[in-house]
């Protein structure tokens, strides 16, 4: 899928601008297995801890041959995280690849970040392709000079290295701001074959105008806020137990959304341009209210009118993860959270991730092109 656009009342895409502006200052935790590469950072042997996350970045010089180090314009740097202040640009060659050593058989989150920042002074947004090895991963496009574009992949390397490649397609010079690899648990995000490309990760009912990542999230997943005008925010100051597998962070799970009209269901849907596209959906729920003896919260989850899961009774301050174990396809997807008749309280919704299945055995020319829109009406 070469062009993925998310439209949640235009809010979600606009929030990308906040990714590097509104992360809360935190202290670093264990970063074992983390690979954090600042592309274009000078001098070539430099390293540092990013002030807002505590993540330890190194220069990309050991991982790439060629390319030119450039700084984004100074006017864009205030309040940005350090790793997007420089880029490595590739004005020469059709294909330029980073080679990064990894542990074969380990499931990784691989994130490539691109922030143009008019680094070349041309004020012309480029477009280019991103490959993993010889296989097409995605097309990199931009909506603004200062809005970042991030591509995330959940992937298990079969060898002891991965190659992330930037491909010049004749629509501007490829560049990259940062490359980050994070080991995940092999018991999570499982597929029968293929890898998972992130389409959406939303902190539903968030109370901040920013995002959360490490060290709130032990896997350094990036959670962007989403609120909808037919839903109201619901929060707790208490810690939510993230569980042992997917471990969505407590700060994400401690906020949620419920319908303003408590008798109304909660709905989200999307349409894929290719009906053969397979999606994996991960929904996270937690009860944030200590229920009284005469109170109950129970609801069903339906997909396209059919029962998908239920009844669901979220546990108090514990995470329940509901997901599609074999993926779903067909082009049109409508999920409903529907209150049971004997429930005194409406559905609650804390967080969601949606991924697209990527088959890296296919060549670039076999990939589908289209636009994907999400809505939480």
Instruction: State residue 376's pLDDT score.
Output: 54
Which residues, at least 6 apart from 276, have a Cβ–Cβ distance to it below 8 Å? 329, 368
| Residue 157 burial (CB count, 10 A) | 22
* Sign of the CA dihedral with 270 first, then 346, 320, and 16 last: positive
Instruction: State residue 45's pLDDT score.
Output: 85
Residues 96/38, Cβ–Cβ less than 8 Å: no
Structure tokens at 162: 């991965």
Residues 252/203, Cβ–Cβ less than 8 Å: yes
Share of the chain above pLDDT 90, in %: 83
Instruction: State residue 377's pLDDT score.
Output: 57
Instruction: State residue 246's pLDDT score.
Output: 98
Q: Report how far apart, in Å, the C-alpha atoms of 105 and of each of 15, 154, 162, 346 are.
A: 34, 12, 12, 42
Residues 37/162, Cβ–Cβ less than 8 Å: no
Instruction: State residue 29's pLDDT score.
Output: 62
Establish whether domains 35-183 and 195-358 are of one fold.
yes
**CA gap 26, 189 in Å, rounded:** 27
SS3 content of the chain, % helix, strand, coil (to 5): 5, 40, 55
**CA gap 39, 186 in Å, rounded:** 28
Instruction: State residue 1's pLDDT score.
Output: 32
Instruction: State residue 149's pLDDT score.
Output: 96
**CA gap 356, 350 in Å, rounded:** 21
Residues 128/119, Cβ–Cβ less than 8 Å: no
Instruction: State residue 363's pLDDT score.
Output: 40
**Using CB atoms within 10 A of its CB, is residue 275 exposed (0-12), middle (13-18) or buried (19+)?**
exposed
Instruction: Specify whether domain 195-358 bears CATH 2.60.120.
Output: yes
Instruction: Specify whether domain 35-183 bears CATH 2.60.120.260.
Output: yes
Estimate to the nearest angstrom the gap between the alpha carbon of 111 and the chain centroid.
9
Give me the tens of pLDDT residue by residue for the chain, a chain 377 residues long: 333 333 333 333 333 433 443 444 344 468 999 999 999 998 888 999 999 999 999 999 999 999 999 999 999 999 899 999 999 999 999 999 999 999 999 999 999 999 999 999 999 999 999 999 999 999 999 999 999 999 999 999 999 999 999 999 999 999 999 999 999 999 999 998 999 999 999 999 999 888 999 999 999 999 999 999 999 999 999 999 999 999 999 999 999 999 999 999 999 999 999 999 999 999 999 999 999 999 999 999 999 999 999 999 999 999 999 999 999 999 999 999 999 999 999 999 999 999 999 988 744 334 444 445 455 55
Instruction: State residue 361's pLDDT score.
Output: 73
Instruction: State residue 14's pLDDT score.
Output: 35
Instruction: State residue 44's pLDDT score.
Output: 81
Q: What is the DSSP track for 147-207? A: S-EEEEEEE--SSSEEEEEEEEEEES--EESEEEEEE--TTSS--SSSEEEEEEEEEET--
Q: Report how far apart, in Å, the C-alpha atoms of 4 and of each of 44, 266, 362, 371 are.
A: 34, 24, 19, 5
**CA gap 14, 346 in Å, rounded:** 29
**CA gap 103, 95 in Å, rounded:** 25
Domain boundaries, the chain: 35-183, 195-358
Instruction: State residue 352's pLDDT score.
Output: 98
Q: Can you give the length of the chain in residues?
A: 377
What is the maximum alpha-carbon separation in the chain? 69
């Amino acid at each position: 899928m070469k062009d993925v656009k998310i439209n949640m009342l235009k809010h979600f895409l606009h929030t990308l601008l906040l990714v590097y502006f509104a992360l809360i200052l935190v202290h670093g935790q264990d970063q074992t297995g983390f690979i954090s590469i600042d592309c274009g950072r000078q001098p070539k042997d430099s390293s540092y801890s990013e002030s807002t996350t505590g993540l330890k970045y190194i220069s990309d010089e050991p991982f790439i041959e060629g390319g030119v180090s450039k700084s984004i314009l100074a006017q864009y740097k205030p309040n940005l995280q350090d790793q997007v202040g420089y880029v490595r640009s590739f004005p020469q060659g059709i294909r330029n690849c980073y080679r990064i050593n990894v542990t074969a058989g380990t499931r990784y989150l691989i994130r490539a970040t691109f922030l143009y920042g008019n680094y070349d002074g041309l004020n012309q947004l480029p477009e280019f392709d991103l490959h993993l090895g010889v296989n097409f991963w995605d097309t990199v496009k931009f909506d603004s000079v200062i809005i970042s574009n991030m591509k995330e992949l959940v992937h298990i390397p079969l060898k002891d290295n991965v190659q992330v490649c930037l491909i010049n397609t004749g629509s501007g010079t490829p560049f990259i701001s940062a490359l980050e690899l994070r080991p995940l648990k092999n018991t999570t995000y499982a597929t029968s074959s293929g890898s998972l490309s992130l389409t959406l990760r939303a902190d539903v009912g968030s109370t901040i105008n920013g995002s959360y990542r490490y060290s709130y999230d032990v896997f350094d997943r990036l959670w962007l806020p989403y609120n909808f005008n037919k839903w109201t925010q619901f929060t707790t100051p208490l810690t939510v137990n993230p569980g042992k597998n997917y471990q969505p962070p407590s700060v994400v799970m401690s906020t949620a959304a419920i319908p303003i009209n408590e008798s109304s269901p909660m709905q989200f849907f999307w349409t894929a341009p290719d009906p053969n596209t397979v999606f994996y959906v991960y929904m996270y729920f937690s009860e944030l209210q200590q229920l009284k003896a005469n109170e109950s919260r129970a609801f069903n989850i339906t997909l396209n009118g059919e029962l998908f899961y239920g009844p669901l009774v979220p546990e108090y301050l514990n995470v329940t993860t509901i997901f599609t174990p074999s993926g779903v396809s067909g082009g049109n997807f409508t999920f409903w959270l529907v209150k049971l008749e004997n429930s005194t309280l409406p559905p609650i919704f804390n967080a969601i991730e949606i991924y697209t299945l990527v088959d890296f055995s296919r060549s670039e020319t076999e990939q589908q092109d289209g636009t994907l829109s999400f809505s939480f009406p």
